[in-house]
Amino acid sequence: MLTRKQHELLRFIQVRLEETGISPSFEEMKEALDLKSKSGVHRLISALEERGFIRRLPNRARALEVLRQADDTGSKALRPSAANSNDGLARPQTPRRSVEAANDVIEIPLHGRIAAGVPIEALEGQSMLPVPAALLGSGEHYALEVSGDSMIEAGILDGDFALVKRTNAARDGEIVVALIRGEEATLKYLRREAGMVRLDPANAAYEPQIYGADEVEVQGKLAGLLRRYN
């Protein structure tokens, strides 16, 4: 059995998802329930999650999934204008619905500087970087801080954060994170020729790097960039 506030919050989330397709923010939930602080919203969300009514999508902001509706329908809906229901609540068309806000943020691992001279694996779990979900596609991603100017003609500057899709496969001409001899990671254009691997910079001041095919391991390919202006 839910408390009145828990029931009101669940219904508010359901209605907002149905009407706008976007989970309400914590500020909106605080105002709708006339709470004094967002900490009260956090406690209500946690209680609903523990009881199996909602689920927070991992590593995402403002993304809630309603798993089931409250059996108790006696409380008044916070949004009585919603239609198509006997108790004033617009019900989702499916029993489970997850919605991601347009400004949703995902946290991905930040492994370190791309030219740090150590394998990517040695930097696993160092820290996390919040990234707009719109910059990423499907798959697993991580971030690296760019060091140096070897890719400036591709618009990749020193201090940028390279957003990388984790993969061991890449086509010629793609910008990849390449692990050289298991020791040094670099961000370069990938080319294959005559059984060799050529890593091309995007700066006329630098020469291509050529290695045997067994000396280079693709660790991912560039998916996007983040840049600070300060």
Residues assigned a catalytic role: 150, 188
Residue 156 makes CB contacts below 8 A (sequence gap 6+) with 146, 162, 175, 187, 202, 222, 225
The residue assigned the tokens 């489970």 is 96
Backbone torsions φ then ψ of 63, nearest 5 degrees? -135, 105
DSSP single-letter state for residue 78: S
How far is Cα 196 from Cα 194, in angstroms, rounded to an integer? 5
SS3 of 20-39: the string is HCCCCCHHHHHHHCCCCCHH
How far is Cα 14 from Cα 10, in angstroms, rounded to an integer? 6
Nearest C-alpha neighbor of 144 from the set 119, 172, 173: 119
Do 139 and 166 touch, CB atoms closer than 8 A? Answer: yes
Do 85 and 96 touch, CB atoms closer than 8 A? Answer: no
